[in-house]
Amino acid sequence: MNLSNPGNKSYFCGQMNITILAIESSCDDTSAAVIRDGNVLSNCIATQEIHQQYGGVVPELASRAHQVNIIPIVDTALKEAGINKKELNAVAFTRGPGLMGSLIVGVSFAKALAMGLDIPLIEVHHMQAHVLAHFAELPHPTFPFLCLTVSGGHTQIIRVNAPLEMEILGQTIDDAAGEAFDKTGKILGLDYPAGPIIDRYAQQGKVVFDFPEPQIPELNFSFSGLKTSILYFLRDQLKANPSFIKENMADICASVQDRIVSILMNKLTTAAELTGISEIAIAGGVSANSGLRSALIQQGEALGWKTYIPKFEYCTDNAAMIGITAYYKYLEGEFSSQDISPKARWGM
Amino acid sequence: MEVLENIGIDQLPQAVERILAHTVGGRNKLVFSGELGAGKTTFIQALCRKLGVEEAVNSPTFSIINEYSYFDGALGSERPVYHMDLYRLRHIEEALEIGIEEYLYGPDWCLIEWPEVIESILPDEVLRIKFELATNSTRKILIL
C-alpha cells in the first residue's frame, strides 16, 4: 500500500515498486535518495562524516566538491536503501534553480546513469520539490493547500492544487526571510548562518524593540528595509551605549525574530483569507525556526487551519523531496530527454 | 574618480546613468563595495532595469550568482547579466571552484557585491563602485 499518495486523487496505476534514485546538487550540499512508491528508503546528504569515509575534505561550497561527493553519496543512498542499481526504474535530478556549476554535476551524473541503465530521466524543479517534501511522511496536506516556502534564498507563498500544479501567489522582491536572519546576525556580530543562533537567543528574550513592518502590496514580501532599520536602530543605540548589543542580545533577537515571523504570518493569513484555503503548510530551512513554528500553530488554532510542518531533514535541501516529486512525474509519464541542460534561473 | 553626493532613492536613475557612462567600450565588470544596508542591491536593481532586465532582481546572497537576461539591441540577441554576491565565501578557492574566472573574463555583464574575496583575480579594467552611508535616506557613491 502506498501511504504517500494524496488522498483525493488515486495514483494507483497497476505498477508497484516504482523505485527512483534522486540527486540534488543545486547549492551547498550534495544529496542522493532512493524513493519506492513515494516512500523514502534513504535520504543521504554529503557531510564531513561521509567524506572521512572516503578520505577527503569538504569545501563548503563548490561544484568540484559535488564532483567528489556524488558517487560516494549515491553509493551510500543505494546501500542504505538496500537497493541494487539494476532495480531502479528512473533517475531524477534537480534541473534548477541553483548555482550553474553545481547543477551541471547532478544533471550530467543523472543523464549518464539513466543512459547506462537504460531507464527514464526525470527533471525536477527545486522549489516545487520543497513543497512536495510534505509528502515524504504522514500526515500530509490535502489539496488545495497553501505552502509558505522560506529559506536563505527564497520566500514564497504557493497555492498547491495538485502534486504538479502550483501557483506562486507572492514572493520576496528583494531579500529572502532567511537572509534577513543572516544579515541581522552579521550586524550583531554572530556567525553565519545566524538563523539558528538568533532563534536560541530569541527564546530567552522579550519583544521590546519595535521594528517597522514594510508595506508591500499584495502577497509579496520585502526584508531589505527591515535590515536597514535594524542597522540604524543599533547604530543609534551604540552611540549612547557601546555595549548595547551585548547587554540586550536576547531582546534584540526576540524583537527581530518576532517581526520577521509577523511579516510572514500576516501575508500567509491574508493568502488564506483570499483563497479560502485552510490547509496551511510551511517548507524550507527557515521552517525550523521555533518562532515561526509556534506562530503557525497558534494562528492555526485561532483560525481553524490544519497546519503542516515537515521534519527538519525534509526542510533543508535534500534529495528525498526531489525523489517524491519525481515519483508524481513518473506516474504522469513526465520524463526528460537526454539533451536536457540545467537552468540556473527557472520560474515555477 | 567621480563622486556622487546625496543620492536618495529618487536620484537612483541619474546615478545609474552616471555609472553607465563609465562602462562604454564594454567595461562591464562592476564591483560594489560598502557596508550592509548601504544600498548595493537596490542600486543593482535599478541598473538591471536600465539594462532592460524585466524579471525579478533579488538578492543573490544565498544563491551566490543570479542570472538575468535582457535584449541587447546592438547585438540583436538576448544576453545574460550575472549578479553575484560573494558575501558567503571565505576563501578565493571557493570562488575559483564555482568557475568565477569564466564570468570575470567572459563577454557579459557581471555585477558583483562583496568582491573582497576575489580582489586578486579581478580584471584590470574593473569598475569599482563604493557606497557610503551619508544620512539614513541618502548615500554617497564613489566611482573609482
Mutate to test the interface with A, among B41, B64, B136 (most CBs of A within 10 A): B64
Q: Name chain A contacts of B58, Cβ cutoff 8 Å.
A: 172-176
Nearest to A260 by CA among A289, A219, A237: A289
A247: its cell numbers: 547587554
pLDDT of res. A5: 43
Residues 6+ apart with CB under 8 A from A342: A95, A96, A98, A100, A103, A104, A106, A107
Distance from CA of A225 to the nearest CA of B (A): 8
**For residue range A200-233, what is the model confidence (pLDDT) as tens digits?**
999 999 999 999 999 999 999 999 999 999 999 9
**For residue range A318-345, what is the model confidence (pLDDT) as tens digits?**
999 999 999 999 999 999 999 999 988 7
- Of residues B42, B58, B62, nearest to A152 (C-beta): B62
> Is B37 a domain residue?
yes
- Is residue A75 packed enough to be buried (19+ CB in 10 Å), middle (13-18) or exposed (0-12)? middle
- Of residues B36, B90, B97, nearest to A64 (C-beta): B97
Distance from CA of A221 to the nearest CA of B (A): 11
What domain count does chain A have? 2
pLDDT of res. A275: 98
Residues 6+ apart with CB under 8 A from A312: A288
A97 to B63: CB separation less than 8 angstroms, yes or no: yes
> Is A263 a domain residue?
yes
Q: Which residue has the cell 500567509?
A: A268
Average pLDDT, chain A: 90
Q: Name chain A contacts of B93, Cβ cutoff 8 Å.
A: 59, 62
pLDDT of res. A16: 73
- Which carries the bigger pLDDT value, residue A9 or residue A295? A295
Same domain, A86 and A198: no
Same domain, A285 and A160: yes
- Which carries the bigger pLDDT value, residue B91 or residue A133? A133
- Is residue A15 packed enough to be buried (19+ CB in 10 Å), middle (13-18) or exposed (0-12)? exposed
Average pLDDT of span B118-127: 96
Distance of CA B116 to the CA centre of its chain: 13
> Is A3 a domain residue?
no
Same domain, A102 and A154: no
- Is the pLDDT at A58 greater than 60? The verdict is no
**For residue range A122-131, what is the model confidence (pLDDT) as tens digits?**
999 999 999 9
Distance from CA of B67 to the nearest CA of A (A): 6
Report residue B137's pLDDT band, with 50, 70 and 90 as the boundaries.
confident
Same domain, A107 and A183: no
Residues paired with B11 in a beta bridge: none
What domain count does chain B have? 1
- Which carries the bigger pLDDT value, residue B96 or residue B124? B124
A175 to B63: CB separation less than 8 angstroms, yes or no: no
- Of residues B41, B55, B62, nearest to A153 (C-beta): B62
pLDDT of res. A344: 81
Same domain, A321 and A240: no
Query: Residue A124, SS3?
Result: strand
> Is A2 a domain residue?
no
- Packing angle, helices A224-240 and A244-275, rounded to 10: 160
> Is B76 a domain residue?
yes
Report residue A41's pLDDT band, with 50, 70 and 90 as the boundaries.
very high
Same domain, A303 and A186: yes
In eight-state DSSP terms, residue A302 is H
The answer to whether B89 faces chain A, any CB pair under 8 Å, is yes
- Is the pLDDT at A80 greater than 70? The verdict is yes
Domain containing residue A99: CATH number = 3.30.420.40
Mutate to test the interface with A, among B54, B62, B137 (most CBs of A within 10 A): B62
Domain containing residue B41: CATH number = 3.40.50.300
Residues 6+ apart with CB under 8 A from B76: none
Average pLDDT of span A107-111: 97
Q: Would the ipTM clear 0.85, i.e. be above it?
A: no
Distance from CA of B62 to the nearest CA of A (A): 5
In eight-state DSSP terms, residue A346 is -
- Is the pLDDT at A138 greater than 70? The verdict is yes
Same domain, A97 and A152: no
Residues 6+ apart with CB under 8 A from B120: B92
Q: Name chain A contacts of B68, Cβ cutoff 8 Å.
A: 345
Which pTM does this prediction carry? 0.85
Domain of residue B96 covers: 13-123
pLDDT of res. A15: 55
- Is the pLDDT at B88 greater than 60? The verdict is yes
> Is A339 a domain residue?
no
B62 to A97: CB separation less than 8 angstroms, yes or no: no
Average pLDDT of span B111-124: 96
- Alpha-carbon distance of B99 to A286, in angstroms, equals 29
Average pLDDT of span A84-93: 97
- Is the pLDDT at A10 greater than 50? The verdict is no
Tell me which chain B residue has its CA closest to the CA of residue A194: B88
The answer to whether B68 faces chain A, any CB pair under 8 Å, is yes
Same domain, A275 and A322: no
> Is A230 a domain residue?
yes
- Alpha-carbon distance of A199 to A299, in angstroms, equals 19
Query: Residue A171, SS3?
Result: strand
Q: What residues in chain A have their Cβ under 8 A from chain B's Cβ atoms?
A: 27, 59-65, 97-102, 151-153, 171-176, 178-179, 182-183, 186-187, 192, 224, 227-228, 231-232, 344-345, 347
Same domain, A270 and A179: yes
Same domain, A127 and A46: yes
pLDDT of res. A215: 92
- Is the pLDDT at A308 greater than 60? The verdict is yes
pLDDT of res. B106: 94
Average pLDDT of span B128-135: 92
The answer to whether B101 faces chain A, any CB pair under 8 Å, is no
- Alpha-carbon distance of B31 to B29, in angstroms, equals 7
Distance from CA of B2 to the nearest CA of A (A): 26
Q: Name chain A contacts of B97, Cβ cutoff 8 Å.
A: 59, 61-65, 101
Q: How many CB pairs under 8 A join A and B?
A: 87
Q: Name chain B contacts of A171, Cβ cutoff 8 Å.
A: 56
> Is A342 a domain residue?
no
> Is B130 a domain residue?
no
Percentage of the residues of chain A whose pLDDT score is greater than 90: 77
Report residue A102's pLDDT band, with 50, 70 and 90 as the boundaries.
confident
**For residue range A282-304, what is the model confidence (pLDDT) as tens digits?**
999 899 999 999 999 999 999 99
pLDDT of res. A147: 98
Nearest to A92 by CA among A283, A325, A316, A317: A325
A224 to B136: CB separation less than 8 angstroms, yes or no: no
Same domain, A232 and A266: yes
Average pLDDT, chain B: 91
Q: Name chain B contacts of A175, Cβ cutoff 8 Å.
A: 41, 58-59, 61
Query: Residue A172, SS3?
Result: strand
Domain of residue A172 covers: 142-310
> Is A9 a domain residue?
no
- Is the pLDDT at A35 greater than 90? The verdict is yes
Tell me which chain B residue has its CA closest to the CA of residue A178: B62
Same domain, A170 and A298: yes
pLDDT of res. A62: 58
Contact A178, A292 (CB under 8 A): no
Mutate to test the interface with B, among A30, A58, A60, A61 (most CBs of B within 10 A): A61
pLDDT of res. A57: 34
- Is the pLDDT at A311 greater than 70? The verdict is yes
**For residue range B39-80, what is the model confidence (pLDDT) as tens digits?**
999 999 999 999 999 988 988 888 788 889 999 988 899 999
- Is the pLDDT at A120 greater than 80? The verdict is yes
What stretches of chain A show up as alpha helix (H) in DSSP?
A: 48-54, 63-81, 100-117, 126-132, 177-188, 195-202, 224-240, 244-275, 290-303, 312-315, 319-332
